[in-house]
Chain A
């Protein structure tokens, strides 16, 4: 009896001691409750207060993460192997937290999202999703992984409907149906993995060892099924079809958030969870176990579909939706390289992508709130009327294409370098193919990225007198997120040297 009591005490003490590592998330939870209370006391007219609390909370959370990331660099497990703390994870966590903070600021400033930003639920859900994403990044156990993934997904479905109109509800429903389907498949794959290994802890060495010993076909099917859930989150072919509808229907700040944060978390999952499993099946020689081949083909198709579909879009948000599919293809290219340089380029690319995508959506949002539509053809002459806005948009579009003088150029350069390195190391022609397709797609993408500045600068200005006033707050926000795009072009070592110090 005493003995059992001792074990229990020890475990409890262990849990209490490990809770220290979750302090940043605990802060988020506290903020969530605080927002809930404010919402209870004053449901109407307190949007700014709730947003302020939420933003402040996320910033404190981020600061704690930065503090922890600077102090602890070696990876270790907490809660008896359920969660893992690592500097790679911290990088993703900080990125996701910053994205959320910026998305919250965006939703407060947005001119099209006035109704949603008043509601307390919005902040609750977005904070909830943030907690989910942070746990997802840290997860090293299938159970936690699935729970946090669902936490992220369900919050996303809800956020998608915050436009409170038909399109928004339609987008939300589509998102939900696709999402439920793919997480079902993923759960199925996970259950097979559990069946094979008898272990839920995927960072455990026995987990990988028993996978290697099992029937390779079964392992292949299990990985494929598990992968589908991840591919859905990063909207890769063939799980990309939800993206345009959801992006078009959802409120713009939410779309900007969707296009970055859950994707970053899913890429973290890719590197943490899927990478080691691939390592088990790569030595087998059959083509269908060659994950670099399968993923390369997926990346090529994703890139091409995203780009070609974007060429035909007339709505700015749909265009950016397809562009985000193409960008997922680019990040996947770096993932496929399966190397430290590949991971470095994933981190760099996602960081730059966060900045440029938010800037792009923000400008579309400003214009939409002024002229009431996001049809690109109606943007005519805005660049000449509001040169500052036009120039920033141009910089952002150039960054999305991946041309100098923006950090987007390095994003592409590192991705291509990672693929090139993989080609040099393995000599597989698929990498060269991937490389060439990536380059060709960069050229194609220029055409549609330039479409928006083209209408803004080349087409004659119509009578749009109401355009004269864009508030200072918008300009400050835009400047703040686009300055790094140019600054990191001049001094990319500043960021890349931080990233390459990260231990994988």
Chain B
């Protein structure tokens, strides 16, 4: 096993950025190769990581997931006098939750880098920002320290803001600031919870060293941790010795919460009559729902997508949206499991609303890219629905949907980009019968469209079927979701078939015709080799993961079942306590 593989994946772009700064402007055609090579290696390393990842790891009792390849180092240690200490760690690791996301990011970022070959202004700045974005995306998926996660999460906004704002379409300025403000608005909710959490959670290992149970962190045993937790619980520990932490694995254990602190399950802090822990879950939910996006927080997405240049659209839909879903899975659910149980109906409802509302909007869109953007909203609704069901099938389906949608939406935006490159027009009704001019293009498009609305044999089918199974079974397994939600969601699939097939039929089949009075006909040539090299692998992957779901499920299913079990059990237990206190 390669040591520091995770750090290598995250920080590989940093030396590449320095390299970009050294290459003179005169050689600006080299910049794109630096980006391509860097992201290629990131992809190779993430594939290696994926292969090394063990689907079934040693079962630790009570753990939410089984983390592998951990990299832990102290980053910031603050001594804040009588208040105690604050520890921020550089803490990376993989488990069933993020392994699929790493693989997806590796693939999509490389495809995006190839798609970036067509960028025609400010090359150095574009490629530096692109590589920076790559670092923050991997960092976000791999960090297990909430603070580190937040830093990457926030830092991601900046490259995105400029990538949309400088290289985007005509209304790029509006779209980029809207994207920035929306996401920042969401992230202040997350920050609020983060501050509350570090006031509430302590690191039992470092605290054990501080009170003299052990002289080094490595020598702290499980018994010592128990002793610290027990003494913490009865309020015996002096504040000076406490080490407050952002470590997510400590946040999932109720024994590490400081008695009387806001997020202690028995402290009874309320706001408007609702328990602080439930409020915190909601705040995290809003923060990540904006990113996902969930109706009604989705309005930034169509603008950002339409204005963003093709590679940025690909990354936005393919990877960035997944951070919303991943954040819910990684932070909101494990840290506040009772919120997931308590609000399951609401979350499921929002999922269904997103599915149907997104689909209806996609049906009405005249712009191909906008239609794809709304189809993303609809597809992300499935992620939410599967998660809300808190069943093994549902949560597996959520991750599968994120992975599958990552591949497919990347492909769809590339398809829109191909057309836009040739004619600078994406209005659906301006085209008819493109199949006769661009056969390969239309074949790929057909595959992408069929896969997107969930035809069996493609990855989208597996994902949506798992989610629907989970949502349907939730009624009998854990009584969290009513049956009609699953049924309503199937309407979403139906609508998906309608808008994809309709568009396919309108734009690509029939006699060739384009808007009168334009000189597009000569320009409409078929896919170039570069375009094929991006689109064919994605199409092939969509089919591969549709035919062999075990490729992914074998890696994640083990972790997902312990994840669901842990969330349901501690969620119900905590909820009973909260309701008893309230």
Residue B181 contacts which of A423, A443, A497 (CB distance < 8 angstroms)?
A443
A133 to B165 Cα, complex, angstroms: 45
CB contacts under 8 Å to B, within A299-353, are: 340-341, 344
A223 to B77 Cα, complex, angstroms: 39
CB contacts under 8 Å to B, within A400-444, are: 403-405, 409, 413, 416-417, 420-421, 423-424, 432, 435-436, 439-440, 442-443
Contact pattern, B 66-91, Cβ under 8 Å of A = 1, otherwise 0: 00000000001111111100000000
Contacting chain A: which of B98-106, B150-158, B393-401?
B150-158
Chain B residues with Cβ below 8 Å from A500 are 78-81
Chain A residues with Cβ below 8 Å from B166 are 457-458
- Contact size class for A? 35 or more
Q: Assess whether A398 is interfacial by the CB under 8 Å rule.
A: yes
Residue A443 contacts which of B76, B77, B184 (CB distance < 8 angstroms)?
B184
Q: Assess whether B262 is interfacial by the CB under 8 Å rule.
A: yes
Q: Assess whether B477 is interfacial by the CB under 8 Å rule.
A: no
Shortest distance from the beta carbon of A143 to any chain B beta carbon, whole Å: 33
Structural contact, B155 and A454, CB atoms closer than 8 A: no
A446 to B158 Cα, complex, angstroms: 12
With A424-B262, A458-B165 as known contacts, state yes or no: A493 contacts B199, CB within 8 Å.
Answer: no
Contact pattern, B 326-369, Cβ under 8 Å of A = 1, otherwise 0: 00000000000000000000000000000000000000000000
CB contacts under 8 Å to B, within A24-46, are: none
CB contacts under 8 Å to B, within A477-504, are: 491-493, 496-497, 500
Chain B residues with Cβ below 8 Å from A496 are 78, 80
Q: Assess whether B441 is interfacial by the CB under 8 Å rule.
A: no
Structural contact, A493 and B81, CB atoms closer than 8 A: no
Chain B residues with Cβ below 8 Å from A458 are 165-166, 172-173
Chain A residues with Cβ below 8 Å from B173 are 454, 458
Residue A405 contacts which of B151, B181, B191 (CB distance < 8 angstroms)?
B151
Structural contact, A340 and B165, CB atoms closer than 8 A: no
Structural contact, B195 and A340, CB atoms closer than 8 A: no
Q: Assess whether A387 is interfacial by the CB under 8 Å rule.
A: yes
Majority SS of interface residues in chain A?
A: helix
Number of interface residues of B (CB under 8 A): 37
Q: Assess whether A450 is interfacial by the CB under 8 Å rule.
A: yes
Structural contact, B180 and A450, CB atoms closer than 8 A: yes
Shortest distance from the beta carbon of B450 to any chain A beta carbon, whole Å: 39
Structural contact, A340 and B83, CB atoms closer than 8 A: yes
In chain A, what residue has the closest Cβ to B267? Answer: A424
Shortest distance from the beta carbon of A489 to any chain B beta carbon, whole Å: 9
Q: Assess whether B213 is interfacial by the CB under 8 Å rule.
A: no
Shortest distance from the beta carbon of A434 to any chain B beta carbon, whole Å: 12
CB contacts under 8 Å to B, within A355-409, are: 384, 387, 398, 403-405, 409
Shortest distance from the beta carbon of B183 to any chain A beta carbon, whole Å: 10
Structural contact, B188 and A440, CB atoms closer than 8 A: yes
Structural contact, A439 and B188, CB atoms closer than 8 A: yes
Contact pattern, B 149-176, Cβ under 8 Å of A = 1, otherwise 0: 0110011011001100110000011000
Structural contact, A447 and B271, CB atoms closer than 8 A: no
Residue B83 contacts which of A341, A409, A442, A497 (CB distance < 8 angstroms)?
A341
Binding site for B on A (CB under 8 A): 340-341, 344, 384, 387, 398, 403-405, 409, 413, 416-417, 420-421, 423-424, 432, 435-436, 439-440, 442-443, 446-447, 450, 454, 457-458, 491-493, 496-497, 500
Shortest beta-carbon contacts, A-B, top 10: A439-B188, A404-B151, A500-B81, A404-B154, A496-B78, A420-B195, A443-B185, A493-B76, A458-B165, A341-B83
Please name 8 pairs of A and B residues whose Cβ atoms are closer than 8 Å in the assembled complex, sorted by A. A341-B80, A416-B191, A421-B199, A436-B192, A443-B185, A446-B180, A458-B165, A458-B173
